Amino acid sequence: IIIEQNSRIQWLGMGLIGLLLLFLSTLFYYFRRNKKIADALLVKNQENELLLKEIHHRVKNNLQVISSLLNMQSRNIQDTAVRTAILDSQSRVQSMSLIHQKLYRGKNLAAIEMKSYLQTLADNLIDAYAEVEEVEVRLDMQQLELDVDYAIPLGLIVNELITNSLKYAFPSRQKGAIEIKMEQSPEEIILDIGDNGVGKKITPVKKAESGFGSELIELLTIQLKGKLDRSTDVGYHTRLRFPFSKSTQIA
């Protein structure tokens, strides 16, 4: 009886060992298979990242070519109004080119850090208007990443507003300041841009009488589903509010 019990125990032990080996071999098989899948996905993601970087790089280069062509064309224009319109268009192209440059050089290919972008954009505009070198741009905001669907219209709006301040707010090369603030709440983003220049009387204008820059700002505000307010209590101030939550943008 004791021999039979020992034999049963041995067979039971061998069976358990066999099941354990089968379980371990199955586990190893699935581990190897999942690792191969993960490695393949990693390679695919790396290829996609390289492709996206190349796309941003090419878009940036193409926009820079357009900017250079506009600059060359402006040199041959004698009409001041036409020349100014061409240079304004060049500035808008450069603001979009800068976004793709930031995306190409950044780690996140789907979003851009707005504080760094707006600072560079403002510095470029100050450099472009050499006659207003006494004007200081102050940026007050935390780091905030936005995807391209938000960054491009915001960049164009900021470009228009800073350009307007540089062109009209500080005549006779007077010293001044342009302040940019951006705040994020759980449901919206608030952008404030103002200067301490001579100000501007706000009067209702017909669409046909408004400038292209003003129309562009209105259209971009609609694109962002936002609301635009202006005031001239001190200088010229614009506030843009638009709905935003992290779940609405690309992760």
Q: Is the pLDDT of residue 243 over 80?
A: yes
Name the band, by pLDDT with cuts 50, 70 and 90, for residue 1: low
Question: CB under 8 Å, gap of 24 or more: what pairs does 224-228 form?
Answer: 224/150, 224/153, 224/154
The predicted pLDDT at position 104 comes to 74
The predicted pLDDT at position 6 comes to 63
Q: Is the pLDDT of residue 181 over 90?
A: yes
Q: Is the pLDDT of residue 58 over 90?
A: no
Is the CATH code 3.40.630.30 the one for domain 110-251?
Answer: no
Could you tell me which residue, 47 or 150, shows the higher pLDDT?
150
Per-domain boundaries in the chain = 1-109, 110-251
Do the beta carbons of residue 195 and residue 236 sit within 8 Å? yes
Do the beta carbons of residue 67 and residue 97 sit within 8 Å? yes
CA angle 156–162–163, rounded 5-degree value: 85
